Amino acid sequence: MKYFHIIILSTILNANLYAQEEVPTLEGKVLYHSYTNYNNWDSEMYILNLSDNTVSKISANWNIDHEMNGVFSPDGTKIVFMGDQKNEPRNWDIFLWTIGGGEPVNLTPRNEGRDEDPKFSPDGTKIVFKADNDIKVMDLNGNILNNVTNTPDIEESMPYYTTDGSTILFAPGAGAESDIYSINTDGTNRQAIVAQPNYQEYFPITRDSESFFYTGWVSTTDAHDQLFLKYFSNPNPIKLPFNNSNADYSDATPVGSQYVVLSSTRTGGKGGYDLYIADIFTGDIWSLNNYNHSINSELEELGANYFSGITNPGCSTFDIPGIIEAENYCTMSGVVTEPCSDTGGGLDVGGVVKGDWMEYKVNVTNPGTYTVTYRIATTENGSKIQIQEDGTILATTSVQNTGGWQNWQSVSTTISLSAGLHTIKIEDTEHSWNLNWVRFRKMETVNNSM
């Protein structure tokens, strides 16, 4: 019998060792905060750089107290967060920091109320936030652009843009009265998305164009927080498989389509809330201490935000008319480069799935109507490639099966471009494809005069 117990224990230990070896390999950065207690006003913010697994305390020299709930800008160059100016009343302001720069800028110094929960718009030009009990939108200089809600008698918090920037998810109410709603950015079309009576649902986080994460109780009688995945097209939320009803799980941030970084009080941690990465399909979960042993501590680690994009500081500005080689992006999310068998060889961008994207700097020297040609390969029918200029969608083009991931075909569409410097974004909005290059050819104007 003792021998039998030893075999079982050995099997468990080997399984745990194997799980450690299977910790996901990631690129990008994780932003988070840590404090002894929310009411102690001692929060600090950190960045885990997954390229070398180093952790940097970014708030050490700021003239700000209790920095928390930071979010990366879409291009990864800025962080917006909530905190309080030192030696001023404890009433929360919104700050904007350029990564690597000096003191963050207070965007809301004139508001004597509480300014909280900031999030960037998908194009990075606006910030949605909670102002006292309402939802507002401002630009990056702190100028209020519009009041999304105007119901000061109802607490409305935790706003988050959907991927197209037209709608905001948020949580009106508190405790058992808290639900999840959506509303257009102009304040119209307010509607409940998740609203179970006498049950708390809050903290919506957009995952992709089809779904979002949120936090909710185990039940109306058990207030342990759990994490859920909700598809807009399906009324039934999915309780994620790593949840345990004896612990709290919250503060989700999506990491690609498979993983989520979260905070939890599950057993085996270092303190109260620790940071973990979990597989939303299998339920496998790993401490972030697998990347750096200093992350989780006896303190509370919360508010994670993941930035997946890899920025190329040496990227070039492409002249249009002309050709952009796909691998020469300035910023991307989710893609890889690989050897290309198309005419001319070189590299292509591969591993592209729905939601992945690349951004390029361009200079349009001749404005007008252009034929855009994608040199593309896929094994799937119904794939889609989208082009945007400075956050505005110009065209979405369907791509059919080319017969292989290195069987290249040219697919074209027509767009209009304005003169000057712009950011062109190429995004996969359906299925998968590889991309070699994008050509912009000015369409000739036909002169009908005699």
Q: Is the pLDDT of residue 72 over 90?
A: yes
pLDDT at 155: 92
Name the band, by pLDDT with cuts 50, 70 and 90, for residue 298: very high
Other CB atoms within 10 Å distance of the CB of residue 28: 19
pLDDT at 289: 96
**For residues 127 and 95, what is the distance between their CA atoms, to the nearest angstrom?**
11
pLDDT at 6: 36
pLDDT at 197: 94
The mean pLDDT value for 117-130 works out to 94
Name the band, by pLDDT with cuts 50, 70 and 90, for residue 257: confident
pLDDT at 309: 67
CB of 220 within 8 A of CB of 209? no
CB of 65 within 8 A of CB of 86? yes
Q: Is the pLDDT of residue 2 over 80?
A: no
Tokens representing 174 are: 């508190």
Q: Categorise residue 238: left if φ over 0, alpha if ψ from -120 to 50, beta otherwise.
A: beta
Residue 175, helix vs strand vs coil: helix
pLDDT in tens, 153-162: 899 999 999 9
Name the band, by pLDDT with cuts 50, 70 and 90, for residue 12: very low
Tokens representing 86 are: 């030192």
pLDDT in tens, 42-59: 999 999 998 889 999 999
Residue (of 124, 151, 154) closest to 139 by Cα position: 124
Residue (of 211, 217, 283) closest to 248 by Cα position: 217
pLDDT at 88: 82
Q: Is the pLDDT of residue 104 over 80?
A: yes
Q: pLDDT averaged over the chain? A: 89
pLDDT in tens, 172-203: 999 999 999 999 999 999 999 999 999 999 99
E-assigned strand segments in 16-143: 29-35, 44-49, 54-57, 64-72, 78-85, 93-98, 105-106, 115-120, 126-131, 134-139
pLDDT at 445: 61
pLDDT at 7: 35
Q: Is the pLDDT of residue 8 over 60?
A: no
The mean pLDDT value for 412-424 works out to 93
Please tell me whether the peptide bond between 122 and the residue prior to it is cis, using omega within 30 degrees of 0.
Answer: no
Name the band, by pLDDT with cuts 50, 70 and 90, for residue 418: very high
The mean pLDDT value for 235-242 works out to 96
Q: Is the pLDDT of residue 18 over 80?
A: no
Residue 62, helix vs strand vs coil: coil
pLDDT in tens, 360-371: 989 999 999 999
Q: Is the pLDDT of residue 21 over 60?
A: no
Name the band, by pLDDT with cuts 50, 70 and 90, for residue 313: low
Residue (of 101, 53, 93, 52) closest to 73 by Cα position: 101
The mean pLDDT value for 251-278 works out to 94
pLDDT at 221: 95
Q: Is the pLDDT of residue 10 over 50?
A: no
User: Per-residue DSSP letters for 242-268?
Assistant: T--TTS-EEEEEEETTTEEEEEE--TT
Name the band, by pLDDT with cuts 50, 70 and 90, for residue 137: very high
Residue (of 49, 66, 47, 67) closest to 57 by Cα position: 47
- List strands edge to edge, sheet with 144-147: 115-120, 126-131, 134-139, 144-147
DSSP H or E segment with residue 38 = none
The mean pLDDT value for 267-294 works out to 95
pLDDT at 349: 92
pLDDT in tens, 350-391: 888 888 899 998 999 999 999 999 999 999 999 999 999 988
Place of tokens 């994009």: 309
Q: Domains in the chain, ordered, with CATH?
A: 26-308 (2.120.10.30), 311-442 (2.60.120.260)
The mean pLDDT value for 408-414 works out to 95
Q: Is the pLDDT of residue 113 over 90?
A: no
| DSSP percent split of the chain into helix, strand, coil, nearest 5 | 5, 50, 40
